[in-house]
Structure 1
Amino acid sequence: MYKKLESYCLRKKGAVSTYPFGPSAQVFKVGGKMFALLVEENGMPAISLKCDPVIAENLREQNKAIRPGYHLNKQHWNTVTVDGSIPQSELYAMMDHSYELVLKGMTKAARSAIEDRLV
């Protein structure tokens, strides 16, 4: 599943993969801003994603695999343990939401430069 998550992140327009925190934490950025952090915990992937604070709290209440972002702003980030309890489509929707929030926070010029890319 790790490779599927990695591949999904990299399919986002303008997405790049970096390792600023060492070889065990893969960070996905768009326009220089992080939208996902992928690690392996106890043999399972865990992905940290940006999230609207109200939605973040609701997600945490609904699923114990979702917790406040580990080493991140707990109001705006969730860490999701990918243990099979969350359907892949919902996980991808959370990843999309994170990417879109990061794009939305950029200047119009930066956002246009990314959105106008062919790939």
Structure 2
Amino acid sequence: MTDEQAQIYLLSKPFTSLDYPFGEDVKVFRVKNKMFATIALGQTAKSAKTSDEAKTYFWMNLKCDPHEALILRDIFPSVIPGYHMNKSQWNSVILDGSIPQGEIERMIDNSYNLVVSKMTKKDQASIQLHL
């Protein structure tokens, strides 16, 4: 999945908006003003150490159940603890093409649903009407 495909999928969610509170280099995706994803360009530490030509990829931070976060990190080398986020509740997904698109979409859906589940009943109801 490319960063553009991820952005299109993220923005397809009801009541989702795009914001740049951390500068123009970090895209922040919110549902009713609650952050559920970010996308930024970054360099992998692994590639910087192993190659003269360090590779840069887009990274997507997604909220995740703490138990599932650990499982995803074990399964996919491109899923690491959330960069600049709470490491137990956020994962960083390196968009290097190694993770199937359907799996990334599932992770996005989970992040969105986790954030919505913490909202007021009224906000949850208004969102559920559009799902």
> What is the TM-score when the length of structure 2 is the normalising length?
0.86
Bigger CA radius of gyration: 2
CA drift at 1:115: 2.8
- Which runs of 5 or more structure 1 residues have no equivalent in the other structure? none
> Equivalences for 1:79-118 in 2 at 5 Å?
79-117=92-130
| Number of positions where the alignment pairs a residue of Structure 1 with one of Structure 2 | 118
- The residue type paired with residue 10 of structure 2 is C
Report the counterpart of residue 13 of structure 2 in structure 1: 12
Question: Runs ≥4 in structure 1, deviation > 2 angstroms?
Answer: 113-118
SS of 1:85 mapped into structure 2: coil
Give a deviation string over 1:46-104, Cα, whole Å, max 9, x none: 10000000000011111111111011111100001011110011011000000010111
Report the counterpart of residue 47 of structure 1 in structure 2: 60
Give the whole-Å Cα distance in 2 for the aligned partners of 1:92 and 1:117: 18
User: Pairwise CA RMSD of aligned residues?
Assistant: 1.3
Tell me if structure 2 keeps the 8 A contact 1:47–1:80.
yes
% identical aligned pairs: 42
CA drift at 1:116: 3.0
- Which runs of 5 or more structure 2 residues have no equivalent in the other structure? 44-55
> Equivalences for 1:47-86 in 2 at 5 Å?
47-86=60-99
> What is the TM-score when the length of structure 1 is the normalising length?
0.94
